[in-house]
């Protein structure tokens, strides 16, 4: 019998879809909702399920940015064959995304016991939500928002890609929040920072989902809940991406900062009173 029902999977898929690309921590929100539904947040099957349904959100990115991805991959393919094509920004950008994914893969494999054990605690989530809010606010204030997507460099990609490790080790910090904040500190504008966060998330999150699939199925999550959660995640994430890109074009990240602090303090209160178990 599955440790997660189809109904619970639908709810978690919706939470994943809404929060994966917003800088509010999808992992943190999933753990909070799992706790409220009395689902053990540190269970191997549950951890695996959370990683697998991220693939639905990543599929939404692939569909939403299909033309951009085809352009970049095509440029990469041409560059592999024709030397003169290797000066094209899209060719170089493809290699940057690949290189920038290496740090999170290495840390993810090396720190897997910690990530799925002590660092999965809701106390860590609550603290990371608030700490990440401070970083995000500071980055938005510090950044000069003067560089666009075409101005990104290898250094930008590596620094932004490596910042994903913060969210990996401290669920609640937010992968999107960490990458967007780093990009803002590097003076990218908000739209460029958001799009770079999307592109860098594709290989990391897809790889995590595929890696965890066998563990999720083998540890006690049925195929039906996995399929339902992933499908819902895709639909909701697509709408979330479209909304976020329009939002950041005209607004700062302050609304997300305030929301994260409120959720973090609320979570601390629920844990302190015993309403939620860590």
CA separation for the pair 149, 132 (Å, rounded): 24
> Each residue of 193-214: pLDDT tens digit?
999 998 998 888 788 777 766 6
**Rounded distance, CA 138 to CA 203, Å?**
28
pLDDT tens digits, 147-196: 988 899 999 999 999 999 998 899 888 889 999 999 999 999 999 999 99
Quickly state the pLDDT bin for 20 (edges 50, 70, 90).
confident
Cβ-based neighbour number of residue 246 at 10 Å:
11
CA trace torsion 226, 227, 230, 234 (10° rounding): -170
| C-alpha dist (Å) from residue 156 to 142, 161, 176, 193, 230 | 16, 8, 15, 10, 31
Token output for 203: 């290989």
Average pLDDT, the chain: 88
Classified as helix, coil or strand, 37 is: coil
With CA atoms as reference, report the closest residue to 32 among 169, 171, 155: 171
Residues 6+ apart with CB under 8 A from 203: 97, 98, 101
Q: What is the pLDDT of residues 95-143, one digit of tens each?
A: 999 999 999 999 988 988 888 778 878 899 899 999 999 999 999 999 8
Q: Is the pLDDT of residue 218 over 70?
A: no
Residues linked to residue 188 through DSSP beta bridges, in sequence order: 147
Predicted local distance difference test score (pLDDT) of residue 165: 93
Residue 172, phi-psi category: left (phi > 0), alpha (psi -120 to 50), beta (remainder) = left
Q: Give Dmax (Cα) for the chain.
A: 64
Three-state secondary structure call for residue 147: strand
Q: Where are the alpha helices (DSSP H) in the chain?
A: 6-19, 26-36, 44-64, 66-81, 89-110, 112-115, 122-142, 154-162, 164-169, 175-185, 190-219, 223-248, 254-272
Distance CA 144, CA 128 (A): 25
Torsion of CA 74, 76, 80, 83, to 10 degrees: 100
Measured CA to CA, the distance from residue 27 to residue 175 in angstroms comes to 9
Beta strands in the chain (DSSP E): none
Q: Tell me the two tokens of residue 79.
A: 């560059």
């Amino acid at each position: 019998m599955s440790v997660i029902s189809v109904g619970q999977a639908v709810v978690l898929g919706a939470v994943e879809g809404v929060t994966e690309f917003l800088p509010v921590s999808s992992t943190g929100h999933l753990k909070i909702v799992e706790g409220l539904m009395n689902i053990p947040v540190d269970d191997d099957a549950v951890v695996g399920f959370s990683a697998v349904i991220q693939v639905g959100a990543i599929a939404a990115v692939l569909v939403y940015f299909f033309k951009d991805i085809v352009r970049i991959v095509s440029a990469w393919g041409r560059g592999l064959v024709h030397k003169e094509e290797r000066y094209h920004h899209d060719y170089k950008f493809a290699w940057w995304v690949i290189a920038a994914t290496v740090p999170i893969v290495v840390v993810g494999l090396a720190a897997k016991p910690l990530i799925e054990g002590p660092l999965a605690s809701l106390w860590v989530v609550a603290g990371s939500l608030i700490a990440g809010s401070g970083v995000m606010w500071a980055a938005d204030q510090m950044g000069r928002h003067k560089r666009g997507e075409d101005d990104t460099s290898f250094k930008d990609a590596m620094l932004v890609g490596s910042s994903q490790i913060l969210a990996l080790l401290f669920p609640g910090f937010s992968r999107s929040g960490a990458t967007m904040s780093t990009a803002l500190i590097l003076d990218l504008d908000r739209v460029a920072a958001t799009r770079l966060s999307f592109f860098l998330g594709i290989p990391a999150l897809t790889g995590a989902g595929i890696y965890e699939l066998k563990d999720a199925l083998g540890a006690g999550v049925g195929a039906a809940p996995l399929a339902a959660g992933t499908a819902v995640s895709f639909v909701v994430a697509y709408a979330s991406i479209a909304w976020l890109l329009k939002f950041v074009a005209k607004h700062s990240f302050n609304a997300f900062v305030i929301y994260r602090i409120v959720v973090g303090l609320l979570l601390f209160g629920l844990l302190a009173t015993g309403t939620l178990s860590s």
